[in-house]
Amino acid sequence: SFENRLAFRWFWLPEPVRPLHGSGCGQQQEAVGMEMRPETFSIFRTQENDPDCQSEQHQGQYYTVPPSHFHTVFPHGLPPRYQQQVKTFNEGCVMVRQPALELISHLKRADYSKPTLRYLLYGVKGSGKTMSLCHTVHYCSTQGWLVLHIPDAHLWVKNCKELLPSSYHASRFDQPIQASNWLRNFRTTNENFLSKIKLRQRYVWTKRESTEEGQPLGELVDMGVSRVKSSSDVVGAVLKELRLQAGGTEGGFRLAVAVDGVNGLWGRTTLKKEDKSPVAPEELTLVHNLRKMINNDWCGGAVIATLSQTGSLYAPSSAYLPQELLGEEGFDSMDPFIPVPVSLYSEKEFESCYLYYLDRHWLQHPHSQTEEGKKELIFLSNRNPSVLERLCAFL
Amino acid sequence: MQMQRLLLSTYFLFSPERRTANMAASGGRTVGSFLWKCGNCCFNFNTVSSNLTRQVLSRQLCVSAVLHRKNLAAAGPEKFSEEFIKKQVEEFNIGKRHLANMMGEDPETFTQGDINRSIAYLFPSGLFDKKAKPLMKHPDEDTFTKALAVEKHQDRLRGKDLFTQDAKQISLVGSRWLLKEELEELLVETISEHDYARFIQLMERLLSLPYCSVEEDFVQRYRRQLEIQSSKQQVQPLQYDQHGVAYSTGDGRRKTATGTVLLRDSGSGSISINGTNYVHYFPVLQDREQLMFPLHFMGVLGRFDMQCSVSGGGHSSQAGALRLAISRAMLSFLSEGQVETMRQAGLLTPDPRIKERKKPGQEGARRKFTWKKR
């Protein structure tokens, strides 16, 4: 495979400054003059760890998320298998792929005085939607945006042990555990914003508890974490405040709402009331507030969402298009949105992933390190990222 | 030296027909060594009859018999020349004298009848066949005449340059013996199993003898040719569609699942089953490995595009049916030798296993009802 690497070096060597237009531009390097570089980096990695500076040059290459960012930016957002992989390899490497790059370029060029744009990542199961979302979230946090990352909306519509009737609104239900968990993670992600943002309204929780106007947001969040009973309402309040203040000229922060598995907000739930009748998603406080967030009636930020079939309820496993998974209601709410398709690995990306696993000594089987073994891997996984990952896990 | 002389004499004590019989030969050798032991030590036979010493002697006898056997093998085939026969006669006479001493009789007046009686007394044999019993005869009496005649004949042929070594062997490759039913048909009579087994045994023995190629016609009458398996495969010619791309179809079945495959050349290795991607249709790795096996075996993994349709059965049987269909479709792209290797790998054999019938009185095909003691 050293010869492979050499061949790819001649093939891939990026020119230092020239920006390239069009997609899949690694191949165009050939026409440009080739230089000899010392071997300080390998083919599938790039030193460019800042998502801002990544461009199509780096497509297919892995960049490392700095460990300091890891725990602040992604306390809860990463797929569980990827978290295990990070723990095993002792580093978090994300592949730069075309959907993420497209999203980031849109975010760079968008006009934030207009109502929010909504982006929807969709694709077949295991093609890398959540990872692209995390890549974009990393970009947003490095740019200093306030990130509202909901790891999986499906977690809010199923498997809830406690459903309290809401104190605020009679017909709605609260989910204290999920809400407090999310608030805790939110606090970890956006530490620096919590003291800067001030509340514009007075919130009364109980007869004795209330939060005054002008208090920092951090206090509200702390209160929500400690008082578990009213945490769902706290979430609602937080979302409302952020919505109001996002595009504001005095505060001046941008808000990124990243929702994974957004189709869960409009489907059905598995939760039941005490009289065994099913709960509709609108009757959950969290879902209700989140839906208000996703509506494009505010400005100064972006909504990035992914569809997910894996956790979705009552959806066939072959469905991956927005219409199928969102349903009519969801589609109407999300409309208009910018669809971003996420495809399976291209040849280059597959090669890069394969070399990464080889580099990390993840592929132990001697046959997998040969060309034939690579062909077998391509066949068996059909270049599907998650299938490939599961396949290599026992090799 | 004395031991060898005595051993050799007693080796030829027995008639030539029984020489190959193992029991008699080993018996002869033990007799010879026993006599030697007796001759050396002048043992009285009665004291030897105690079990312990006999066992000790027999143990030693066996060892020397083994050594003797080895020596013979190293020496090569015996040459029945005149001086050899003279030596045998001398040894017979000496042996006769030793025997007379042992029996306590006068060596001068020891006749053949006396010899027979003494041998019958010393080596009581429970065998019925007279020729199998131990005997000690003068070498001139009908022992070497046959062998001498054969040797003379061979010398004459050598003189006329007609004595060829047996180089021709009957080739038995690709044929088998007649089955019992076929033999019955040929001979127009019923044959028992023992008779058939004996027949095969004798034919095999005939083939093991030298110059069996003379009777090749006779032997071949009782053999049948085996058909070459791979010539049974019908390989369909390649078809070409409008763009000049070669394609072929194949179908396969496994346990109520049927599948058809359209294999197209110069593709990228994409497979669609019933309209969906194969990764979604077969989420289980084992099924995808089954699909991969024929292509990987011939090393054409990325070459073909496939459109498959499959119905019936479960996921494993559908995968098996598709595998057979792919192998059959690939035949038209491959050469004869590769077809043969595929057949030997078992890719072209339809799997005959089907669900076994449930029997009455049992819960399933094999499972019995729970046994209750009372």
Residues of B within 8 A of A387 (CB-CB) are 279
Residue B317: the pLDDT is: 93
Cβ–Cβ under 8 Å, residues A298 and A116: yes
**Cα–Cα distance for residue pair A62/A67, rounded to 1 Å:** 15
B90 touches chain A (CB under 8 A): no
The yes-or-no verdict on residue B338 having pLDDT over 80 is yes
Residues of B within 8 A of A384 (CB-CB) are 279
Determine phi and psi for A93, rounding to 5 degrees: -110, 130
* Interface contact flag, B276 A318, Cβ < 8 Å: yes
Q: Is A117 helix (H, G, I), strand (E, B) or coil?
A: strand
Q: What is the mean pLDDT of chain A?
A: 77
**Cα–Cα distance for residue pair A243/A148, rounded to 1 Å:** 11
Name the range with the highest mean pLDDT among B33-47, B167-181, B209-223, B346-360: B346-360
Q: How far is B260 from chain A (nearest CA, A)?
A: 20
HSE (side-chain half, CA atoms, 13 Å) at B238: 15
B280 touches chain A (CB under 8 A): yes
Q: Which residues pair with B250 in a beta bridge?
A: B261
* Interface contact flag, A382 B279, Cβ < 8 Å: yes
Spell out which chain A residues touch chain B, with contact meaning CB-CB distance below 8 angstroms. 124-125, 317-318, 372, 375-376, 378-382, 384, 387, 391
Residue B20: the pLDDT is: 45
Residue A235: the pLDDT is: 84
Position A59 confidence tier, pLDDT thresholds 50, 70, 90:
confident
Q: Is pTM, for the whole model, over 0.80?
A: no
A380 → closest Cβ in B280, B289, B299: B289
* Interface contact flag, B301 A391, Cβ < 8 Å: no
Q: Return the residue in A380, A390, A391 with the most chain B beta carbons within 10 A, the one to mutate for interface testing.
A: A380
Q: What angle in degrees, to the nearest 10, is found between the helix axes of A371-381 and A347-359?
A: 120
Q: Calculate mean pLDDT across residues A350-376.
A: 86
Cβ–Cβ under 8 Å, residues B140 and B92: no
Q: Is B237 helix (H, G, I), strand (E, B) or coil?
A: coil
Q: Is A100 helix (H, G, I), strand (E, B) or coil?
A: helix
Residues of A within 8 A of B301 (CB-CB) are 375-376, 378-379
The yes-or-no verdict on residue B315 having pLDDT over 60 is yes
Residue B229: the pLDDT is: 62
Q: How far is B308 from chain A (nearest CA, A)?
A: 16
Tokens of B16: 């030539």
* Interface contact flag, B285 A380, Cβ < 8 Å: yes
What does the pLDDT look like over B270-287, one tens digit per residue? Answer: 888 998 888 888 888 899
Chain B residue with minimal CA distance to A124? B280
What does the pLDDT look like over B1-29, one tens digit per residue? Answer: 555 454 444 444 444 444 444 444 444 44
* Interface contact flag, A376 B278, Cβ < 8 Å: no
Residue A360: the pLDDT is: 85
Residues of B within 8 A of A375 (CB-CB) are 296, 301-302
Position B66 confidence tier, pLDDT thresholds 50, 70, 90:
low
Residue A1: the pLDDT is: 44
* Interface contact flag, B279 A378, Cβ < 8 Å: no
Q: What angle in degrees, to the nearest 10, is found between the helix axes of B336-345 and B285-298?
A: 150
Better-scored residue on pLDDT, B18 or A346? A346
Q: Calculate mean pLDDT across residues A5-32.
A: 39
Residue A40: the pLDDT is: 41
Chain B residue with minimal CA distance to A318? B280
B300 touches chain A (CB under 8 A): no
Instruction: Quote the DSSP letter at residue A198.
Output: B
Q: Is A261 helix (H, G, I), strand (E, B) or coil?
A: coil
What does the pLDDT look like over B27-61, one tens digit per residue? Answer: 444 444 444 444 444 444 444 445 555 554 445 44
What does the pLDDT look like over A93-112, one tens digit per residue? Answer: 888 888 888 888 888 888 87
Integer CA distances (angstroms), A179 to A163, A206, A287, in order = 12, 18, 11
**Closest of B148, B127, B28 to residue B79, by C-alpha:** B148
